Amino acid sequence: RHRDLKFDNVLIAPAGEGHHVAKLCDFGFAYCYADGEPDRSLRDACGSPLYLAPEVELHVTYSGLCADVWSFGIMLFLGHTGRFALPEKRPARLAAIKYLTDHEAVQPFCASARALYDKTFELPADVEEVVDACLRVRPAKRKTVQGVASLLFFLSSEC
């Protein structure tokens, strides 16, 4: 589990024939599991604040892999909108997490973000589907890595 996914930790390398591949770097916060070991709950908060999953931000036990899914959603949102999904200042970020938690059952993340920030942003439908799947405040509601990888965005030939 990487636990510090952010654009600063992604390198783009040539993959031949004009294609490129993204490679992760900086595994300083990574948690390595033994082969076959189940995804154990972690306690130590680490990573970059604007990319942290709510459960890490709130200092409760968490799944490193599930927290990485959140961070990936933040990266995708940032890459497409030019803004972070949650406010930079911690009190505002915590208030946003509360708002999202209260509204999570009735609307997906992007709809809540539009209401919360009174902002309009356009995302391609397949990108919004991934963002909504990754940015669920309750970890149990978040898609797994396999679930995210099965979404149309990743199944298209352009990805």
DSSP codes of every residue in 43-76: ----S-GGG--HHHHTT--EEHHHHHHHHHHHHH
- Of the listed 4, 35, 44, 68, which one is catalytic? 4
Check if 44 is active-site: no
31 three-class SS: coil
Q: Are 116 and 89 in contact (CB under 8 A)?
A: no
Active site residues: 4
